[in-house]
Amino acid sequence: MTERKFFGTDGVRGKVGQFPITPDFILKLGWAAGRVLSQQGTKKVLIGKDTRISGYMLESALEAGLSAAGLQAAFTGPMPTPAIAYLTQTFRAEAGIVISASHNPYYDNGIKFFSSEGTKLPDHIELAIEAELEKPLTCVDSAHLGKAKRIVDAAGRYIEFCKGTFPSKMSLKYLKIVIDCAHGATYHIAPLVFSELGADIIAMGVKPNGININDAVGATDVRSLQKRVIDEEARLGIAFDGDGDRIIMVDHVGNKVDGDQIAYIIARESLRRGELKGGVVGTLMTNMGMEVALKKLSIPFTRAKVGDRYVMEKLVQHNWKIGAENSGHIILLDKVTTGDAIVAALQVLASMVGTGLSLQELCNGMNMFPQVLENVKFSGENNPLKSDAVISAIAAVEAKLSNTGRVLLRKSGTEPLIRVMVEGEDADEVKMYALEIANAVKANC
């Protein structure tokens, strides 16, 4: 397959003000995407964003580029990534665009594209857009320039959709829930979804100011949520990331519940109801405890490369419905077309209501193996993964773990990092082994 120059595993992403996240490039990207997409149907594109201050600048640049290519832009304002996937379908738009860097800090941003079916753009479309980027920017005749408008009821439409994925005969009454919206795109959505289903909601991370997104809040840092759940004596906590496609939960005693555990709970509940279709797709990072627990239930399991794009590919390949990353991306293809944190949370809550069990009790069937992840900053000039010293360090650790653990090194698809993961039965040993390999990587970057 032809290597992409600009598109990563999750669109185009980087630090604002540095190529490619600059106004001139994003204008050209909008134009190039418009050129490709204008060859199809409605010539209408939905554009949503998270709460980063740079979103204002980037949506204006996108609008100009799309208009120059003859496409209409319909803006939703701050909206979760999965909401744009859903609304792209319901508005019969040619594509959906999300301006977001997901779980990254505010000074990063990115552009994600969805097809008219609410899925990530096919490879050939991304490659066609990259080919257009190599051409000089032109402008259609004035009479054919694209117009722009605001969609005023986008939030309400998505809220109703989310509520519709929760069993109609159930209620969240008597459930006290702390919700952390990461000062991100779910801040005006998630509290309404859960409160309208009857829950007693305590909301945090709902005061975005443009630069506080993901800052010591949300799915990437649940420490404040853990404390708040205990202080409020809540039944559980739910943390979303900046664009609402990742979820991490916290039980009533403050234990973190990650994407692997959430997928396990949803799969087991589907099995209990007789609704499970096929098995579960995880990733190379999925905890071995999930694999063991699913095997005990006779639920098939397979691993994909890290990235929700690859999880989706495996789901389609096997015709399965449940896929997950331990970072909190949960894909439920019987309900949504992409990872949707709010919808995933509702399925876990349905299991709690349906069984009468606490979140902690629902996790009891899965024993997590100790897993340590070390991130090493990587300049990109040398490839430490091919270094003899790093290869030797990996081999030494694998020999010590034998068949009771795993080692995985990979380049991040969204940040300039080498991720070092070690998993095994003894937490202290796993930590020591991860540091050994990480130090070898640092020495050879």
Strands 148-150 and 176-180 come out as unpaired
Q: For the purposes of burial, counting CB atoms within 10 Å of the CB of 9, is it exposed (0-12), middle (13-18) or buried (19 or more)?
A: middle
116 classed as catalytic: no
Q: Is 200 annotated as a binding residue?
A: no
> In this structure, which amino acid lies at residue 49?
K
Q: From the centroid of its chain, how far is CA 33?
A: 23
- How many residues are present in the chain? 445
Q: Is 215 annotated as a binding residue?
A: no
Q: For the purposes of burial, counting CB atoms within 10 Å of the CB of 163, is it exposed (0-12), middle (13-18) or buried (19 or more)?
A: middle
Task: Using alpha carbons, list the distances in angstroms from residue 122 to 32, 224, 313, 378, 433.
Answer: 16, 39, 11, 29, 39
Buried b (16+ CB within 10 A) or exposed e, 36-49: bbbeeeebbbbbbb
Asked if residues 21 and 15 have their Cβ atoms less than 8 Å apart, the reply is: yes
DSSP string, 177-223: EEEE-TTSTTTTTHHHHHHHTT-EEEEES----SS-TTSS-STT--H
Backbone angles phi, psi at 63, to 5 degrees: -60, -45
Kindly state the tokens that stand for 294. 């699913």
Buried b (16+ CB within 10 A) or exposed e, 221-231: bbebbbebbee
Q: Is 142 annotated as a binding residue?
A: no
Strands 200-204 and 176-180 come out as parallel
Strands 330-332 and 176-180 come out as unpaired
Backbone angles phi, psi at 394, to 5 degrees: -65, -45
Asked if residues 250 and 256 have their Cβ atoms less than 8 Å apart, the reply is: yes
Active-site option among 67, 102, 116, 351: 102
State the Cα–Cα distance between residues 417 and 376, nearest whole angstrom.
Answer: 5
Residue 123's SS3 state is helix
Q: Is 102 annotated as a binding residue?
A: yes
Kindly state the tokens that stand for 263. 């997928």
First to last CA, the chain: 27
Catalytic residues: 102
Binding-site residue ranges for Mg(2+): 102, 241, 243, 245
